[in-house]
Amino acid sequence: MKKTTYFLISIFLLATFLSGCVESSEGATSESEDIIIGALLPLTGDLASIGEASQVAIEVSASDINGYFSGLGSGKNVEVIIKDTESDPATALEQLKALDEMGIHIVVGPQASDEAEAVLEYATENDIILMSTASTAPSLAIPGDNLFRFVPDDTNQGMTLATFMNEEGTDVVIPMYRNDSWGTGLADEIRKNFETLNGTVLESITYDSDNTDLSSEVEALNEKVVTAISENSEASVAVLLCSFGEATDIFKLAKEYPALSEVDWYGTDGMALNKELINDNEAAAFAAETNLKASMYGYVIANDRYQEVGPRIEEKLGRTPESYALTSYDALWIATFADLDAIPDNDQSVKMAINTLSDTYNGISGWTILNENGDRKYWNYDIWTVTEEDGSNQWELYAKILLPVQNNMMIVRGGNVTFVR
């Protein structure tokens, strides 16, 4: 049995004992039917980078779970049916219906908040439990619904990024964001928190998520930046971009306007660690020139479980995965044993099992305990930046922002630690 399986046995022994589905290796169980879990992932479209990383993590997770079952002499196996949402809410709903027709009622995903919003009513009406590992919109922080989110909602990212921008010396922010539940929700949270810190947030530039030509929006952004730096110092003005994969196109358009290269840019979890951005030399060069700093729910690298599993995911993926891949790995473990524990065809029973298991599960993404809304309770954030070395672009960790300590937020930049009330 692989090393990975050992560290999770203690967490799930009670679950497997209660379910009666796993017997000792001396007498293998006759119950050999597979446990079928669905997954809705954006394998194409604006969130393809996150979808790709999450798929790899789920494949590694399934292998580890099946190794665990095999080591106990069980005939059980978990099988994951993955459907591509194409980063599109309507497609996500179609794919959920397809999973429902297959009799699948526990689904890892969807990843995007607008996708989760689009499928939640159908999931509720058909007793399907959704376990999103990347949806963060505050509007979906709803107690008792059929959506569990193994990441913190954006009230936390909004407060964190606003505080970080303030600490970096930014006084004036010009937001540009997707006009969807995620973009508007996150931009609103950043605005509220930044203004509380006496910062100024100017009128925003918004764009529809299906808009493939953002040239007019970038031109409008340039006009606002030119005005802002004529009235303030360049160093105090910054652009905030809440986007997904379209950030690559935005940067390539922005590089044509000198003023947009003269101010710092901040990004969020929709672009941090995005594969396409650093693979595009023009976009990556602009990101590096403007000191792009993008926040994302953070890695817990001082974690024995991550140290053993994380490198395997990274090796198979061929790059540093978005942290949402780590939550996907953990979500499949919880989904599998929730399925074993729950009363068949009883979504309330599944909910109870998920809450119970997540309370005690410490996975590669850390402690998965959820709050009253079914969202991850505790958080930390990483700040990623783009650098170039020997002709190659890469994402580099710039800072970590940790849980409040004695009413303080702790920002770690290199070897320097800052406490912020």
> For the segment 170-179, what is each residue's pLDDT rounded down to a tens digit?
999 999 999 9
Place of tokens 């650098």: 387
pLDDT given for residue 27 in this prediction: 34
* Mean pLDDT value across residues 11-38: 49
Report strand pairing: 205-207 vs 200-201.
unpaired
Task: Give the integer Cα–Cα distance in Å for 133 and 150.
Answer: 5
What secondary structure letter does DSSP report for 236?
A: G
The range of the structural domain enclosing residue 226 comes to 155-294
Whether the predicted pLDDT of 47 surpasses 60:
yes
Asked if the structure places residue 415 within a domain, the reply is no
Strand segments (E) across 72-209: 78-84, 106-108, 129-132, 147-149, 172-178, 200-201, 205-207
* Mean pLDDT value across residues 399-416: 79
Whether the predicted pLDDT of 392 surpasses 70:
yes
Asked if the structure places residue 392 within a domain, the reply is no
Based on the fold, state whether residues 149 and 11 are members of the same structural domain. yes
Based on the fold, state whether residues 172 and 118 are members of the same structural domain. no
Based on the fold, state whether residues 105 and 171 are members of the same structural domain. no
Among residues 252, 277, 294, the one where a domain terminates is 294
Based on the fold, state whether residues 35 and 149 are members of the same structural domain. yes
DSSP track, 347-379: HHHHHHHHHHHHHH-EETTEE--B-TTSBB---
pLDDT given for residue 23 in this prediction: 32
pLDDT given for residue 402 in this prediction: 87
Q: Which residue has the higher pLDDT, 9 or 386?
A: 386
Among residues 294, 315, 342, the one where a domain terminates is 294
- % of the chain surpassing 70 pLDDT: 91
Mean pLDDT, the chain, whole residue set: 90
* Mean pLDDT value across residues 197-203: 97
Rg (CA), the chain: 22
| Helix or strand (DSSP H, E) at 294 | strand 293-297
Asked if the structure places residue 34 within a domain, the reply is yes
389's tokens:
């070395």
Whether the predicted pLDDT of 96 surpasses 90:
yes
pLDDT given for residue 16 in this prediction: 38
pLDDT band with cut points at 50, 70 and 90 for residue 405: low
Lowest mean pLDDT among 91-105, 111-125, 395-409: 395-409
* Mean pLDDT value across residues 18-43: 61
Based on the fold, state whether residues 248 and 353 are members of the same structural domain. no
* Mean pLDDT value across residues 249-255: 98
238, HSE (Cβ side, Cα atoms, 13 Å):
28
CATH of the domain at 101: 3.40.50.2300
pLDDT given for residue 116 in this prediction: 98
Whether the predicted pLDDT of 25 surpasses 80:
no
pLDDT given for residue 5 in this prediction: 39
pLDDT digits (tens, 9 = 90+) for 151-187: 999 999 999 999 999 999 999 999 999 999 999 999 9
Report strand pairing: 264-267 vs 237-242.
parallel
pLDDT given for residue 302 in this prediction: 75
113 close to 126: Cβ distance less than 8 angstroms: no
pLDDT given for residue 35 in this prediction: 95
**pTM for this entry:** 0.90
Among residues 367, 396, 415, the one where a domain terminates is 367
381's tokens:
């954030």
Whether the predicted pLDDT of 190 surpasses 60:
yes
Based on the fold, state whether residues 94 and 210 are members of the same structural domain. no
Asked if the structure places residue 386 within a domain, the reply is no
Based on the fold, state whether residues 134 and 45 are members of the same structural domain. yes
pLDDT band with cut points at 50, 70 and 90 for residue 419: confident
Based on the fold, state whether residues 132 and 174 are members of the same structural domain. no
Helix (H, G, I), strand (E, B) or coil at 39: strand
Based on the fold, state whether residues 45 and 107 are members of the same structural domain. yes
pLDDT digits (tens, 9 = 90+) for 356-378: 999 999 999 999 999 999 999 99
Asked if the structure places residue 24 within a domain, the reply is yes
The domain total for the chain is 2
176 close to 217: Cβ distance less than 8 angstroms: yes
pLDDT digits (tens, 9 = 90+) for 272-320: 999 999 999 999 999 999 999 999 999 887 788 899 999 999 999 999 9
Asked if the structure places residue 418 within a domain, the reply is no
Whether the predicted pLDDT of 352 surpasses 60:
yes
Asked if the structure places residue 121 within a domain, the reply is yes
pLDDT given for residue 54 in this prediction: 98
Whether the predicted pLDDT of 329 surpasses 60:
yes
Asked if the structure places residue 391 within a domain, the reply is no
pLDDT given for residue 404 in this prediction: 64
Based on the fold, state whether residues 119 and 208 are members of the same structural domain. no
Based on the fold, state whether residues 7 and 85 are members of the same structural domain. yes
Closest CA to 260 of 280, 289, 301: 289
Based on the fold, state whether residues 149 and 108 are members of the same structural domain. yes
Whether the predicted pLDDT of 346 surpasses 90:
no
